[in-house]
Structure 1
């Protein structure tokens, strides 16, 4: 397991201990992006797909690959990008490493209470929907489908007694987004769940807490993280 580093949220000043996610290198060795201790995190307010990947070198075989930039979802709703030490150390003399391959390996299973969950690396909006679908199935919602009608704030997923919204945009979900989902659930007598790549505005988070809408933030490894009490409860109990 990677060594955790202290991280302070610049918005709510809450302190966290964050450990870089561990992935399997193509050679089989465990690999974690090296974090820069004491470096201030960057608040994510918008995303670009090319900037959300970092180059990491395997210390066993020397292979270099692109991995998702480590991110932390603070309970206040802020999503933080954790600085990673750039690849700059030269290969030691007398040691030969194979050339890096031109591919991006999939991450290993995320550390969640149900270890059978397998995340989906997110590089496109479609990947985000796929990751949310698998997560809902992992929670116990069966027959998850995507209706033809698409709301303005993202993509809806439906299951028996459930409406879930996936927002893969580069802006935090708004109060209106959360309220529209909640009202849709009320009209259909269904539970609701919200997944966002860019986090949530403060008033959206407060409203979700008040009406019991579980909020999840998805990082690029495809591992949704609960960011409010209703989401924690859903993870604990399942469908």
Structure 2
């Protein structure tokens, strides 16, 4: 996962942006190549062409449309992160990491072993309800097959429940704060279950540090509905499943 420094032109706040990786149909992670040194642009209106970019999988050479990378600054400004355009001369790397010969984009490279589970099929996110539905889909993919969404959101802000697990989905355009992480953990502790947090705008630094200490898996989601792990607890959950 590539990280680049980003400065908001509206409030001059500095951020570190991590490029999200998406699952290519061949099974390999694929990420938009960030154009380092190019200025970020505040988003004032949206168009289809501006919201999507073409990304080439470095494993099989396939071209896919993925969301244009964005960063939501706490000041309220949404920033478009520039990426390097894909050209016809781009080629997938060979086995040793160098440039290899072009191959048809619809033919994936052979895999030495099958993945532990099929590739996750995300649901695009347009509303807060979509974000909860996508998080539920992801938890089922991890093995929590009895995930349910309460008919009404509880005062404890529990969005999803499963056997041995509760989850919260933060769909607001600001980083999730420390109090939200601690409240979810306390609710999980009282019920003797595991807690998992999903956020669309990432996490405040102290919230992420607290979750690390508590062993709480943290995920961020983008408009494709593909959760990405933020900490080692999330990586472990992906590895082991339910």
User: TM-score over 0.5 for the alignment?
Assistant: yes
Q: 1:54 aligns with which of 42, 51, 63?
A: 51
- 5+ residue gaps, structure 1, are 25-31, 59-65, 73-78, 87-111
Q: Which residue, out of 135, 139, 144, partners 2:142?
A: 139
In the comparison of the two structures, how many residue pairs are matched?
188
- Listed as ranges, the matches of 1:205-220 within 5 Å are 205-220=208-223
**How many Å apart are 1:113 and its aligned residue?**
6.6
For residues 192 and 49 of structure 1, do their structure 2 counterparts lie closer, same or farther at Cα, with a shift above 3 Å needed? Answer: farther
The 2-side partners of 1:194 and 1:48 are apart by 29
- What is the DSSP-based 3-state SS (H/G/I as helix, E as strand, rest coil) of the residue aligned with 1:208? helix
- 1:192 aligned counterpart, secondary structure: strand
* Superimposed CA distance per residue, residues 158-182 of structure 1 (whole angstroms, 9 cap, x where no aligned partner): 0011001011111110000001100
Q: For 2:161, which of 158, 162, 174 is the aligned residue? A: 158
Superposed, 1:71-220 pairs within 5 Å as: 82-84=81-83, 114-151=117-154, 156-220=159-223
Is the partner of 2:130 in helix, strand or coil? helix
8 Å contact 2:159–2:167 — kept in the other structure? yes
5+ unaligned residues in a row in structure 2: which ranges? Answer: 7-13, 56-64, 72-77, 86-114
CA distance in 1, matches of 2:225, 2:79: 16
**Deviation (angstroms), 1:57:** 7.6
Evaluate the alpha carbon distance shift between residue 163 and residue 215 of structure 1 in structure 2; reply closer, same or farther with a 3 A threshold: same
Greater relative contact order (Cα < 8 A, sep 6+): 1
Q: Contact between 1:120 and 1:222, CA under 8 Å: does it hold in 2?
A: yes
Give the distance between the partners of 1:34 and 1:203, measured in 2 at CA.
28
Partner secondary structure for residue 223 of structure 1: coil
Shift of 1:187: 1.1
Check whether the contact 1:33–1:70 (CA below 8 A) recurs between aligned residues: no
CA–CA distance in 1 between the matches of 2:45 and 2:230? 23
Distance (Å, rounded) in 2 between the aligned partners of 1:115 and 1:209 = 28
Partners of 2:54 and 2:215 lie apart in 1 by 43
**Counterpart contact for 1:41–1:81, Cα < 8 Å:** no
Q: TM-score scaled to structure 2, two decimals?
A: 0.62
| Post-superposition CA distance 1:17-55 (Å, at most 9, x none) | x5875889xxxxxxx9975622357599xx999489525
- 2:92 maps to which residue? none
Please, what TM-score do these two structures have when normalized by structure 1?
0.63
- The structural deviation recorded for 1:123 is 1.4
Distance 1:127 1:155, change over 3 A: farther
- For 1:105, the equivalent position in structure 2 comes to none
Cα RMSD for the two superposed structures: 4.1
Question: 3-state DSSP class of the match of 2:145?
Answer: coil
